[in-house]
C-alpha cells in the first residue's frame, strides 16, 4: 500500500474512536430496538421466526455537549428507526482527548470497533491499513454507484491504493474556505471568484481586510494560501506538501505571493491586525472596521440575528456575502481519508450493518441534512428543491454553494503543508516583521526555510 499523508492531514481528519467492546465511556443509548418484544420481529426474509437484532457500539466524541453531537446523535437515531428490529447502533460517549491513543491500544488488543470513526492519519496509513486491520470497501463501492458516484475525485484517488483496495470511505462533501465581505461597505458587481487575483486586488482597492498575525496567523495564512494558488504552479506546489512537508520556500511562487501579502498588510490591513488573534480579526469585521475577512462556512453562525450582541458600529449580519477566492479557488484538503472505515475483524452480520450505515449517511437526504446543519457542499449531488430553498435562507452558505461547482479548484491551506512547529507559532510570530518591512519577502522565505528545515531535523 502506498504511503499516505503526513501530519498536515490531522486537520483534515482529527477523528478517532474506541472499540465496540471494552470501551470506558458512558453509553448514550443502550437498549436495542425491539429487544423488549423479540417475537414481534420478523426475519429479513419475512418469515415468522424472530430475527436477532444485529447491534454494534460506536465509541464517539460527537456526543453530549460536543458540537458534533447536534447532528450526529439524531442521525444515528434516524438510522435506528429506519432499521428497527434489524440493526441497532449504540453510541458510547468518550472524551475527544486521547481518542487516537486509545484506538491504537484497542487495535493492539484486536478489539477495534466494527465502525471506526477516523483515527490518527499516519497510524492508519502506515500501520492499521497495511497490516490488514481494515475491511476493503472497493467491491462494495463498485456495487453501490449511488455512493461511489458522489465521492470527491481527489479523495477517491487518495484513498485508492495501488492494488485497487479502498480502506477509508472517501468524502462526498467539502467545506471550502473563501472569504466574507460586508456589502454595506463594499458591494462589487463582479463575480469575484471568476476574477484573476490581480483583477480582484484592483477591484478591492483600499478596502480594509481583517487579518490575524498572532497565534498561527490563521486569517493571514488563508489569504496567503489564495495568493499562492493564484501563481503559476502554486496549487501544485501546495499539494506537494500532502506526501511530505514543504521545507523549501526559496522559490518564485512563494516569494511572489508573500510580496502581495506584504502589500496587503501594509495598505489594507484593519488597524488592529498586527498582533491580532483570530478573535480580534473577527471583532474587526463585525464592528465594521474591515470590509473583508477570510474564514470557512462555520463562521456563518456569527452573522445570524441570534448573535447580534457581538455586532458593533452598525454592522448587520444580513449584509454579509461570501465568495470563494479568485480563480474559483476554495481552500480545502480533499486528498485525504474520509471519516469512516470498517474493522476487518468484524463478522459478516456486523459488516452488513456497517455498510448499511455508510449507505445511509451518504444518501441524498442525509447529505443534504448535514450540509444544512454544518455548511459545505456536495459537488456531485443533485440537490432537491427543498434543500435549495432551505439553504437559501442562509445567504452566505448559498453564496459558497453557488461558487462550489465541478470547476472549483481546491487548494490545501499553507499551514497544513509545513512543519507543525512552524505553522503553529513561527509563521505568525514573523508576520509583523513582514508587515513593517523588517523582512523582505525573500528574507521571509529564507527564514521560513531555515525554520522548516530545523523543525524536520530535530
Question: Does 303 reside within a domain?
Answer: yes
Instruction: Please indicate, yes or no, whether residues 210 and 91 belong to a single structural domain of this protein.
Output: no
In 3D space, the residue among 120, 70, 71 whose CA is nearest the CA of residue 100 turns out to be 120
Instruction: Please indicate, yes or no, whether residues 329 and 345 belong to a single structural domain of this protein.
Output: no
Question: Does 396 reside within a domain?
Answer: no
Strand partners, 177: 331
Q: Are the C-beta atoms of residues 9 and 336 closer than 8 Å to each other?
A: yes
Question: Does 429 reside within a domain?
Answer: yes
Instruction: Please indicate, yes or no, whether residues 69 and 185 belong to a single structural domain of this protein.
Output: no
In 3D space, the residue among 161, 240, 166 whose CA is nearest the CA of residue 2 turns out to be 161
Mean pLDDT of 393-420: 89
| Length of the chain measured in residues | 458
The secondary structure of 361-381 as a DSSP string is: HTSHHHHHHHHHHH--B-TT-
Longest CA–CA separation in the chain, Å: 81
Choose the weakest-confidence range: 19-28, 81-90, 198-207.
Answer: 19-28
Indicate which CATH number applies to the domain containing 125.
Answer: 3.40.190.10
Question: Does 405 reside within a domain?
Answer: no
Instruction: Please indicate, yes or no, whether residues 186 and 318 belong to a single structural domain of this protein.
Output: yes
Instruction: Please indicate, yes or no, whether residues 115 and 223 belong to a single structural domain of this protein.
Output: no
Instruction: Please indicate, yes or no, whether residues 15 and 162 belong to a single structural domain of this protein.
Output: yes
Question: Does 403 reside within a domain?
Answer: no
Q: Are the C-beta atoms of residues 136 and 166 closer than 8 Å to each other?
A: yes
pLDDT, tens only, 69-104: 888 999 999 999 999 999 999 998 877 666 777 788
Instruction: Please indicate, yes or no, whether residues 120 and 225 belong to a single structural domain of this protein.
Output: no
Q: What is the domain range of residue 92? A: 7-170+336-391
Question: Does 15 reside within a domain?
Answer: yes
Q: What is the pTM for the complete model shown?
A: 0.71
Instruction: Please indicate, yes or no, whether residues 382 and 328 belong to a single structural domain of this protein.
Output: no
Instruction: Please indicate, yes or no, whether residues 357 and 449 belong to a single structural domain of this protein.
Output: no
Question: Does 282 reside within a domain?
Answer: yes
* Structure confidence at residue 126 as a pLDDT band (50, 70, 90): confident
Q: Quote the pLDDT of residue 5.
A: 37
Instruction: Please indicate, yes or no, whether residues 207 and 89 belong to a single structural domain of this protein.
Output: no
pLDDT, tens only, 263-320: 999 999 999 999 999 999 999 999 999 999 999 888 888 999 999 999 999 999 999 9
Instruction: Please indicate, yes or no, whether residues 286 and 428 belong to a single structural domain of this protein.
Output: yes
Question: Does 398 reside within a domain?
Answer: no
Instruction: Please indicate, yes or no, whether residues 327 and 353 belong to a single structural domain of this protein.
Output: no
Amino acid at each position: 500500500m502506498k504511503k499516505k499523508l503526513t501530519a498536515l492531514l490531522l486537520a483534515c481528519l482529527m477523528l478517532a474512536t474506541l472499540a465496540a467492546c471494552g470501551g470506558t465511556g458512558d453509553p448514550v443509548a443502550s437498549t436495542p430496538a425491539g429487544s423488549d418484544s423479540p417475537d414481534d420481529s420478523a426475519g429479513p426474509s419475512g418469515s415468522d421466526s424472530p430475527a436477532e437484532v444485529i447491534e454494534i457500539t460506536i465509541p464517539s466524541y460527537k456526543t453530549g455537549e460536543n458540537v458534533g453531537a447536534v447532528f450526529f446523535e439524531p442521525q444515528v437515531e434516524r438510522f435506528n428507526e429506519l432499521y428497527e428490529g434489524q440493526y441497532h447502533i449504540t453510541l458510547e460517549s468518550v472524551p475527544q482527548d486521547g481518542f487516537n491513543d486509545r484506538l491504537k491500544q484497542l487495535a493492539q488488543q484486536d478489539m477495534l470497533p466494527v465502525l471506526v470513526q477516523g483515527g490518527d492519519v499516519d497510524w492508519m496509513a502506515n500501520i492499521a491499513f497495511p497490516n490488514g486491520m481494515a475491511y476493503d470497501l472497493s467491491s462494495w463501492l463498485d456495487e453501490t454507484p449511488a455512493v461511489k458516484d458522489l465521492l470527491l475525485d481527489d479523495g477517491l484517488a487518495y484513498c485508492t491504493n495501488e492494488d485497487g483496495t479502498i480502506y477509508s470511505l472517501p468524502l462526498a462533501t467539502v467545506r471550502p474556505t473563501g472569504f466574507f465581505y460586508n456589502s454595506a461597505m463594499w458591494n462589487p458587481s463582479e463575480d469575484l471568484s471568476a476574477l484573476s487575483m490581480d483583477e480582484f486586488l484592483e477591484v478591492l482597492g483600499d478596502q480594509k481586510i481583517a487579518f490575524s498575525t498572532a497565534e498561527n496567523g490563521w486569517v493571514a495564512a488563508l489569504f496567503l494560501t489564495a495568493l499562492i494558488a493564484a501563481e503559476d504552479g502554486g496549487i501544485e506546489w501546495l499539494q506537494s506538501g500532502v506526501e511530505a512537508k514543504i521545507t523549501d520556500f526559496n522559490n518564485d511562487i512563494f516569494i511572489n505571493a508573500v510580496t502581495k501579502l506584504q502589500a496587503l498588510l501594509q495598505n489594507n490591513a484593519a488597524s488592529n491586525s498586527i498582533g491580532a488573534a483570530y478573535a480580534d480579526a473577527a471583532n474587526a469585521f463585525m464592528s465594521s472596521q474591515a470590509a473583508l475577512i477570510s474564514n470557512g462556512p462555520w463562521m456563518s453562525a456569527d452573522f445570524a440575528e441570534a448573535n447580534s450582541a457581538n455586532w458593533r458600529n452598525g454592522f448587520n449580519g444580513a449584509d454579509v456575502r461570501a465568495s470563494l477566492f479568485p480563480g474559483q479557488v476554495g481552500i480545502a484538503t480533499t486528498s485525504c481519508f474520509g471519516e469512516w472505515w470498517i474493522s476487518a475483524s468484524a463478522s459478516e452480520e456486523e459488516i452488513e450493518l456497517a455498510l448499511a450505515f455508510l449507505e445511509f449517511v451518504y444518501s441524498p437526504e442525509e447529505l443534504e441534512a448535514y450540509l444544512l446543519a454544518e455548511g459545505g457542499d456536495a459537488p456531485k449531488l443533485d440537490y432537491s428543491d427543498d434543500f435549495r430553498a432551505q439553504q437559501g435562507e442562509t445567504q452566505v452558505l448559498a453564496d459558497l454553494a453557488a461558487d462550489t461547482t465541478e470547476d472549483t479548484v481546491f487548494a490545501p491551506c499553507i499551514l497544513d503543508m509545513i512543519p507543525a512547529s512552524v505553522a503553529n507559532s513561527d509563521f505568525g510570530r514573523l508576520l509583523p516583521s513582514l508587515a513593517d518591512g523588517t523582512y523582505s519577502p525573500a528574507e521571509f522565505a529564507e527564514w521560513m526555510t531555515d525554520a522548516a528545515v530545523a523543525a524536520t531535523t530535530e
